[in-house]
């Protein structure tokens, strides 16, 4: 890499708004042939949006993308591809049921007399795969490969269209260490061959190892650029964090009671070799921080009996607790507001009433198997009023409500069961600011009533603003515990990116 080479790929003043939210605000970057440019930032800093803009998946609201110094508008990802810009996405864009050759040439199969030429596909695919160090037959099905190998197939596919710019979005997030090492090797080879690589990651050690330059994003803005010897992990962490905490968090300290839930040597199916130990007291709000893929969701679903517990022991209120199903968890007073509330939390087509009563029908709202309509109606009216759920009436299908009100319906459903331990996974994802603060207030109120609250969040402000204590996870392990008086973005982030 020489600084004399002109940038092959550039973004100038790119802005992207979703509704009233600035996902990207005036971001500029450039990458030269034979250079690895890393883009880092917290969850939600705008990394993925930036990559999508660069690859032509979404259009910027303002600003432009330049290829070879010429402004280019990609109306579609295919146009980006024909300009030599390829995106290797977090979720692979491959057909798992087809063989490797078919995947590499999907949509532009070499033909002979109108028929697909299997031989040409196999021969050419083998060449492209050799370039990324993938030595398997082009005729095996994609889903028989490991995720790391599939990623290499995706790169081979990009190379087969002579991509000159590769955009890699968290390429190692689901790879094992060996697979990741192999990928690093391929990235270095591609760089030597003069390909420009834009590499997004939140794994700082790979960024410090691979990158020639680093751009740090925060809140959709570029907060600085480091190159060569300046690249230093602590410096990057400082740039990633450090901003004002918003006002809408109510930091009323709560007097915590006895221990409500304890885990000893708990092992979950996501990271079977890691053991987790922690406890949450009643009246306490504990934040579960960590980067995407750290194993927070799996921990919560294990506590809720949805995914099996592989080992260790749990106690709720001192009694042994080993839930096999959600029903057992609910009976023990443990409830979960899941991350994907549309998929796992709500009957979207059904009315507010049905959703609110669903979990308490059997215990409190029925007699001899018959629903007691008046009790059910009263519960709904009370909950709607208490949580200020904005809905035209009790029968409105919940898919017509806003995200915040949908989440309130999920919480209302659980409140009716009088829980001891409330688990929340990304409680305010996709929720507007006004409803957010209402949900925070609700979490506080519940803690005040003696409920133990454990919430996972990728939103650093939320972790800092709400937690009495934060548990930080990295790659399936709890790497640390931070009490409120020591809580800071830096202390949490250091633990979240821990690499030991």
Partner 1 sequence: MRANRLNPFSSLEGSKFLGIFSLLMVICIYTAISSDRFLLAANLENIVHRTALFGILSIGVAFVIVTGGIDLSIGSVVCLTGVMLPFLLTQCNWSVAASLATVLGASAAIGLFHGVMITKMRLQPFVVTLCGLLFYRGAARGITKDRSQGFGLEFTDLRSLATGHIPLFGDVAGDFRLPATTLLLIIIAIIAMVILNRTVFGRYLFAIGGNREAARYSGINVDRFTTSAYVICSTLAGLGGILFVLDINAAQPSDFGNFYELYAIAAAVLGGCSLRGGEGNISGVVVGAAVMVVLTNTINLVHPEYQKIEFAIIGGVILAGVTADALVRRLVASRNRANSS
Applying CB under 8 A, the residues found at the interface with partner 1 are 304, 306, 325-327, 329-331, 336, 338, 343-350, 354, 358-359, 361-362, 366, 369-371, 395, 400, 413
Say if CB 274 and CB 477 are below 8 A apart: yes
Q: Which is nearer to partner 1, 63 or 323 (CB)?
A: 323
Q: In a 10 Å sphere around its CB, with 0-12 CB exposed, 13-18 middle and 19+ buried, how is residue 229 labelled?
A: exposed
Compute the least distance from the CB of residue 114 to partner 1, in Å.
35
**Cα–Cα distance measured from residue 456 to residue 281, given in angstroms and rounded to the nearest whole number:** 16
Compute the least distance from the CB of residue 123 to partner 1, in Å.
39
CA of residue 453 relative to chain centroid, distance: 21
* Tokens representing residue 292 in the block: 């995407």
**Cα–Cα distance measured from residue 168 to residue 215, given in angstroms and rounded to the nearest whole number:** 14
Q: Hey, how many other C-beta atoms are within 10 angstroms of the C-beta on 186? A: 18
Q: Which is nearer to partner 1, 89 or 353 (CB)?
A: 353
Compute the least distance from the CB of residue 192 to partner 1, in Å.
47
Please, what sign has the CA dihedral across residues 185, 191, 195, 200? positive
Q: Which is nearer to partner 1, 151 or 297 (CB)?
A: 297
**Cα–Cα distance measured from residue 152 to residue 132, given in angstroms and rounded to the nearest whole number:** 6
For 132-243, where are the alpha helices, taking DSSP H only?
147-160, 177-192, 204-210, 233-240
Q: Which is nearer to partner 1, 207 or 270 (CB)?
A: 270
**Cα–Cα distance measured from residue 366 to residue 380, given in angstroms and rounded to the nearest whole number:** 14
Residue with tokens 């028929």: 115
The DSSP element (H or E) to which 196 belongs, if any, is: strand 196-200
**Cα–Cα distance measured from residue 34 to residue 86, given in angstroms and rounded to the nearest whole number:** 15
Compute the least distance from the CB of residue 368 to partner 1, in Å.
9
Compute the least distance from the CB of residue 457 to partner 1, in Å.
19
Compute the least distance from the CB of residue 364 to partner 1, in Å.
11
Q: Which is nearer to partner 1, 239 or 316 (CB)?
A: 316
Q: Fill in the DSSP letter of residue 163.
A: -
Compute the least distance from the CB of residue 404 to partner 1, in Å.
16
Compute the least distance from the CB of residue 347 to partner 1, in Å.
4
Q: Which is nearer to partner 1, 178 or 325 (CB)?
A: 325
Q: Which of 341, 347, 260, 328 is nearest to 297 (CA)?
A: 341
Q: Residue 259: phi, psi to the nearest 5? A: -70, 125
The size of the chain, in residues, is 500
**Cα–Cα distance measured from residue 313 to residue 267, given in angstroms and rounded to the nearest whole number:** 9
Q: Which of 84, 35, 29 is nearest to 56 (CA)?
A: 84
Compute the least distance from the CB of residue 305 to partner 1, in Å.
9
Q: Which is nearer to partner 1, 104 or 270 (CB)?
A: 270
Using DSSP bridges, classify how beta strands 85-88 and 21-31 pair: parallel, antiparallel or unpaired.
unpaired
**Cα–Cα distance measured from residue 147 to residue 215, given in angstroms and rounded to the nearest whole number:** 27
The residues, any chain, with a CB within 8 Å of residue 411's CB and separated by 6 or more, are: 337, 387, 439, 442
Compute the least distance from the CB of residue 394 to partner 1, in Å.
13
Q: Which is nearer to partner 1, 211 or 352 (CB)?
A: 352
Compute the least distance from the CB of residue 349 to partner 1, in Å.
6
Q: Residue 493: phi, psi to the nearest 5? A: -65, -40
Q: Which is nearer to partner 1, 130 or 347 (CB)?
A: 347
């Amino acid at each position: 890499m020489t600084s004399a080479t002109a940038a092959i790929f550039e973004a100038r003043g790119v802005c992207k708004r979703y509704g009233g939210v600035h996902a990207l605000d005036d971001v500029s970057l450039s990458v030269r042939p034979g250079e690895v440019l890393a883009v880092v930032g917290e969850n939600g800093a705008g990394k993925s949006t930036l990559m999508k803009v660069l690859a032509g998946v979404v259009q910027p609201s303002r600003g432009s993308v330049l290829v070879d110094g010429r402004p280019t508008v990609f109306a579609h990802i295919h146009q980006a591809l024909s300009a030599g810009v390829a995106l290797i996405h977090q979720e692979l864009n491959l057909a798992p049921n087809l063989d490797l050759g078919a995947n590499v040439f999907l949509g532009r199969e070499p033909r002979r007399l109108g028929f697909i030429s299997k031989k040409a596909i196999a021969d050419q695919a083998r060449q492209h795969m050799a370039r990324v160090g993938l030595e398997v037959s082009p005729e095996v099905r994609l889903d028989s490969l490991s995720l790391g190998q599939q990623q290499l197939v995706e790169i081979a596919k990009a190379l087969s269209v002579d991509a000159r710019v590769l955009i890699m979005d968290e390429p190692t997030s689901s790879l094992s260490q060996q697979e990741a090492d192999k990928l690093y090797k391929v990235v270095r080879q591609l760089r030597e061959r003069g390909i420009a690589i834009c590499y997004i990651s939140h794994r700082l050690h790979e960024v410090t190892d691979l990158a020639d330059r680093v751009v740090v994003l925060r809140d959709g803005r570029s907060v600085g650029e480091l190159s060569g010897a300046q690249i230093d992990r602590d410096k990057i962490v400082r740039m990633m964090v450090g901003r004002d905490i918003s006002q809408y968090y109510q930091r009323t300290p709560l007097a915590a009671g006895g221990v409500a839930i304890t885990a000893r040597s708990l092992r979950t199916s996501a990271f079977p070799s890691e053991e987790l130990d922690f406890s949450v007291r009643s009246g306490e709000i504990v934040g579960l921080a960590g980067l995407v893929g750290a194993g927070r969701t799996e921990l919560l679903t294990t506590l809720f009996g949805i995914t099996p517990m592989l080992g260790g022991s749990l106690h709720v209120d001192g009694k042994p607790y080993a839930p096999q199903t959600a029903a057992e968890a609910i009976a023990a007073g443990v409830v979960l507001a899941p991350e994907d509330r549309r998929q796992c939390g709500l009957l979207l087509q059904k009315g507010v009433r049905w959703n609110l009563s669903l979990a308490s029908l059997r215990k409190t709202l029925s007699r001899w198997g018959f629903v007691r309509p008046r009790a059910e109606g009263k519960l709904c009216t009370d909950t709607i009023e208490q949580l200020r759920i904005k809905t035209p009436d009790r029968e409105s299908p919940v898919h017509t409500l806003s995200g915040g009100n949908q989440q309130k319906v999920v919480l209302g459903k659980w409140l009716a069961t009088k829980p001891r331990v409330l688990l929340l996974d990304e409680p305010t994802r996709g929720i507007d600011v006004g409803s957010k603060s209402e949900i925070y207030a609700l979490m506080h109120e519940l803690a005040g009533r003696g409920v133990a609250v454990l919430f996972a969040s990728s939103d650093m402000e939320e972790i800092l603003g709400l937690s009495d204590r934060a548990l930080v996870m990295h790659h399936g392990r709890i790497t640390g515990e931070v009490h409120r008086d020591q809580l800071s973005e830096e202390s949490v982030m250091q633990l979240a990116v821990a690499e030991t």
